[in-house]
Structure 1
Amino acid sequence: MTVIRTHEPTSQLYRGAVSMSINLALQTGTQKYPAKHNCRLVASLLPRHSSALIYLPSAVSRNYENSDQTRPFRQRRDFQYLTGCSLPDCSVAYDVQTDLLTLFIPPLNPKTVLWSGLPMSPEEAKKKYDVDRVLTTFDELEFLDSWRREEWRCNATIYSWPNVLPFENVDTTCLPAAVGACRVIKTPQEIALIRKANEVTTAAHIKILKNLPWATNEADLEGVYIAECIKNFAKNQAYEPIVGCGTNAAILHYTKNDTPIDKSNLLLVDAGAEWEGYAADVTRTFPISGHWTKEQKQIHDIVEKMQEECIKRCVPGTDFRGLYDLAHKIGTEGLIELGILKGDLETVLRLGTSKAFFPHGLGHMVGLDVHDVDSASLKARNLTGASAISKHLPVKRCESGIEAPRRINRVAPRGLEPGMVVTIEPGIYFQRFIIEPYLKSPVHGEVIDKEVLEKFWAVGGVRIEDDILITREGNENLTTTPKGEEMLKIIREAWKVKEKEDKEMAEREAERHF
């Protein structure tokens, strides 16, 4: 990480902590995570479920290879959905017939207490989690064997994944599909957790804006962001932060975050915190100086319009893939108006040339995973001009669609529904590696004005992303991170503070040498 060279210590990068107006409470509420509700919902989708048992192990703690150091732990998302429990080396059993939910946690190991402290006790776990009882994993096999020996359960099915049980009638296919289907629609408690993740994320994004003038490298700003999340008790990130300056902003999943910052460039920040397992996914693109160049503003205005028009149409029943077509149309119209693309809208869309500048989908589900279950059904398949692209490019390219997940895929035919949380994240990029094959194509090359394009390479890329909750009445934007003039005002105020500090420092230096 680059050293921050100012007349004050590196705590400059944490300015605004006292005046931060966003109030981040430690707790999201007094209600327990609705594990029992989730188990019942999943059970209702399983065949032969009346006398079945749902059994699922958690993720296990592991060390690095040839090391006694533990890897960072991440809970199995399906297990977390059924329990709300983020502890390693556990398991859960839900008896559908008796509606009994049992959580198994590791027993006390005296050898580890010295190093790690006392673990959560069964009594503490029972109080924290929405389960009927808590046993240790020593009791697990006895419980399962006893359950199987009951005469009326001789042909009962155990739904599990993967199969680690020494029993017959274990179904490993239906459970992940059923859990995936249920995770698509969020409960009020899940929405509250996503909202809290967005609050922490907003605080951290604002801290970046306030510290732009003191940063000399992308790494400085990533450090500011991570520190603010940790300060607000969100140690885990939903994904690796993307902090890309200038042309790095054209790299969709750029995570090196180690390039010196140029005040004249744009900065793209795509970063989201995790709160109790639930993700936020937020992107902002802004001029580091607080003032747009002509070309930067032209591209940002197009992307802003793409996002605003799509968010307006995020209502129950909307085909998400149709929103992609709308975003692509608006973006293409904008590029034609700027002269980057030539010809009429219908022709350019038919050829698919504009996909060189908007090469990804419009969004995905958000929840326990940042790209949550059933996100594949939101991706546009057979997009406008997709077949035309492969005909005319000199290098064979991948189709735009992605492989469907193993989970139940229900979203595409029924459209958006209340309780879904999706991202809307259009973007326009100027990445040479992607665009140059189009320029060399005898078909696409005729549609792109190379002379006009030359003015925009330095823009790099612009993406704007918010997390949108679908409601019965329409939608709610869960992301409160500043954008537009509000965002620019924060940056400009920070530069004023920096300029004042620099002036005062210069005056002190002059007095010292006088």
Structure 2
Amino acid sequence: MLSIAKSEFKARRERLLAMMGDNSIAIIPAANEVTRSRDTEYAFRQDSDFYYLTGFNEPDAILVLCSSSVTPSTLICRDKDKQAEIWHGRRIGFEKAKTDYLFDATYALSELDDTLLTLLNTQQTLFYAQGTYPAFDSKVWGLLNTLRCAPKSGYQAPHTIKDIRALLHEMRLFKSDAEINIMRQACEVSAQGHIRAMQFAKLGATEYQLEAELHHHYAINGARFPAYSSIVGSGDNANILHYTQNDAELADGDLVLIDSGCELQGYAADITRTFPVNGTFSEPQAALYSIVLAAQHAAFNEVKPGGSFSKANAAASKVLTQGLLELGLLQGELEQLIASQAYKVFYMHGIGHWLGLDVHDVGDYKCGEKERCFEPRMVLTIEPGLYINHDANVPKQFRGIGIRIEDNLVVTKHGHENLTVGVPKAINDIEALMRASKS
């Protein structure tokens, strides 16, 4: 399986250190385990910023970067503990972490306060993401107060505090070759999961059975968990944008909207497809679906260097408005309808988002007052949709239909690569796939 070399994580730390400037220190905590109920925990998922800089996948660790130190990168982590490891699993330990993960220094978590106090002392600027872990905030503020209150002991607290996310999230926005390769693999696994769900769909099956098909395929291919709670909405449930109840029975004549992707080595895929339960689109379903697909293709044309989310959304919105006007779901003049955003009654979300270690990944959408333009190595989604509730004031044949089509694109020098092209989305291709699965 593809992986990111430890040397790449080290290079990221070095790049961040260079951006911080002299006499600076950054403190980046790992995630904590979270209680699910009483003495059981949710499956551990590492903090994305911490993982991006370390590749280290244990809870409660702390990364410290010091630009003016002989040990620029320090990891503080849980020590080896034979009894704890019998009950809860093996630990790497701070000694092995130093060599295996290429840190300049490592310490046991029992030395946390003394180590942080020493490293913070006399640094001029502290980079820290306040608010991510409130309990750890209190730890940091307490150590700063200790430094401020004892100048006669040679203590000196940083006089400037900056948000590390401004630097770190800009780095994460641009993916390396290794990251793109992992995301490509995550998208391929997710694409085959969607195909499997399409093939399984039949009258009388349930939404959660389709969900199970997806998650089984992810896990059997090395991605133990989905990147987010899978949406499997049939019929009018597809009009709930973040529907995750997934407990309805599939009915003849309904469409199913599946929004799901696996997480592979921390990186997310995010695919949406909409298809008919019985394998054949009705005429009204096909008419609406064709509009959404055409809107996506129009948006794709703007995914290139110099393009932007607003340009992609404008292209998609024009196609959606034109299609709704032709079907009689909107009335008026095309340009006036576009200007008034009349389409928002049926398409109320944005055209897409950044994708990476988080499914809604980090990265600014504006540079100052200007919208950010796409650049090579950015990865994003494009996901137009139409949502017509069962009680909408439209012709009856269109009510209760929800459609979204979502793909994952990486911006290249001359355009983009569609990482999720492996899932059918043309009407003929979907119907052929489902027809073949029933034969």
Q: TM-score range by the shorter chain?
A: 0.7 to 0.9
SS in 1 for 2:414: coil
Q: Partner letter of residue 144 of structure 1?
A: L
Give CA deviations for 1:251-278 in whole Å, capped at 9, x if unaligned: 1111111111013211110001111111
* Counterpart residue number, 2:382: 424
Alpha-carbon offset, residue 429 of structure 1:
1.1
**CA positional deviation for 1:493:** 1.0
Task: After TM superposition, list the pairs within 5 Å mapping 1:147-296 onto structure 2.
Answer: 147-148=119-120, 154-162=122-130, 163=137, 164-165=139-140, 166-167=143-144, 168-169=157-158, 171-213=160-202, 216-296=205-285
Cα distance change of structure 1 residues 45 and 198 upon mapping to structure 2, 3 Å threshold = same
Which digits, 9 at most, give the CA deviation of each residue in 1:64-100, with x for residues without a partner?
46x1112332222211122122211111112223473
SS state of the match for residue 263, structure 1? coil
Q: 2:424 aligns with which of 482, 493, 496?
A: 482
Say which structure is richer in strand. 2
Q: d(CA) in 2 for partners of 1:203 and 1:123?
A: 41
Aligned-partner Cα distance in 2 for 1:170–1:223: 53
Q: Return the index of the structure with the highest Cα Rg.
A: 1
Q: Distance in 2 between matches of 1:84 and 1:422?
A: 23
| Residue 51 (structure 1) shift | 2.5
CA distance in 1, matches of 2:369, 2:182: 22
Deviation at 1:215, TM superposition (A): 5.8
Q: Does 1:112 align with 2:73?
A: no
Seen in structure 2, the aligned counterparts of structure 1 residues 417 and 233 have a Cα distance that, compared at 3 Å, is: same
How do 1:58-137 residues align onto structure 2 when only pairs under 5 Å count? Answer: 58-64=30-36, 67-97=38-68, 98=70, 100-122=72-94, 124-126=96-98, 128-137=100-109
RMSD of the alignment, in Å?
2.4
Q: 1:54 maps to which residue?
A: 26
Residue in structure 1 matched with residue 373 of structure 2 by the alignment:
415
2:356 counterpart of 1:356: no
- Give the CA deviation at 1:410: 5.9
Partners of 1:412 and 1:225 in 2: CA distance = 40
TM-score, normalised to structure 1, is: 0.75
Give the length in aligned residue pairs: 415
| Cα-to-partner distance string for 1:352-373 (whole Å, 9 max, x where unaligned) | 3221111111000111111111
Give 2:438's match in structure 1, choosing from 495, 503, 506.
495
Residue equivalent to 1:392: none
Using a 3 Å threshold, how does the CA distance of structure 1 residues 320 and 239 change in structure 2: closer, same or farther? Answer: same
TM-score by length of 2: 0.87
- Residue 15 of structure 2 corresponds to 41
Contact 1:289-1:492 within 8 A present in 2 as well: no
Alignment match, 1:388: none
Change (3 A) 1:226 1:310: same
Separation in structure 2 between the aligned mates of residue 215 and residue 105 of structure 1, nearest angstrom: 51
Q: Among the aligned pairs, what percent are the same residue? A: 32
Residue 214 of structure 1: how far off its partner (Å): 7.5
Q: Which amino acid aligns with 2:79?
A: P
Whether contact under 8 Å (1:160, 1:171) holds in the other structure is no
Cα shift at 1:145: 3.8
Alpha-carbon distance, 1:148 to partner: 4.8
- TM-superposed CA distance for 1:135, in Å, is 3.4
Question: Residue 465 of structure 1 aligns with which residue?
Answer: 406
Instruction: Please tell me whether the aligned partners of residues 24 and 123 of structure 2 are also in contact (alpha carbons under 8 angstroms).
Output: no
What CA distance in whole angstroms lies between the structure 2 residues aligned with 1:104 and 1:432?
Answer: 55
Question: What is the letter of the counterpart of residue 415 of structure 1?
Answer: C
Instruction: Report the Cα offset of residue 44 of structure 1.
Output: 3.9
* 1:239–1:62 distance in 2 versus 1, CA, 3 Å: closer
Q: Note closer, same or farther for the CA distance 1:157–1:306 as it changes in structure 2 (3 Å cut).
A: same
Cα distance change of structure 1 residues 252 and 132 upon mapping to structure 2, 3 Å threshold: same
Helix, strand or coil at the partner of 2:199: helix
- Higher RCO (Cα < 8 Å, 6 or more apart): 1
Decide whether aligned partners of structure 1 residues 30 and 421 sit closer, same or farther in structure 2, where only a CA change above 3 A counts: closer
- Determine if contact 1:238/1:370 at 8 Å carries over to the other structure: yes
Does the Cα contact within 8 Å between 1:420 and 1:470 map onto a contact in 2?
yes
